[in-house]
Amino acid sequence: MAVMGGFVRVQGNLVTILADFAEQVALLQDKDIAEAKERAQQVMANGESLSEDEFALHAKQLEYAITRERIAGKWKNKKYKNVNVK
């Protein structure tokens, strides 16, 4: 589990996560991440037709895709690769 920002509390066998971003890294798919990133970039490239709120939404989606991409890269290239996810 990748967690960014927020809090994690462990009490015995119970883990509570309150985070800005949490994802099971074993489930990250390069193809899905690349497609989401491309969609957000395309929409933002035509930003003149977007409202301020729409632009902010797509900027956040792009930020999320880039974060997922970075985490997936770390997962593939580091020791975390051998961690079992249930």
Rg, Å, the chain Cα set:
16
- pTM for the model stands at 0.62
Q: Going by C-beta distance under 8 Å and a sequence separation of 6 or more, which residues neighbour residue 3?
A: 17, 19, 21, 22
**SS3 for 18?**
strand
Per the listing, tokens 């809090």 go with 7
pLDDT in tens, 16-61: 989 887 788 777 888 888 888 888 888 878 767 888 898 888 888 8
CA angle 54, 55, 57 (to 5 degrees): 65
Burial class (CB in 10 A: 0-12, 13-18, 19+), 44: middle
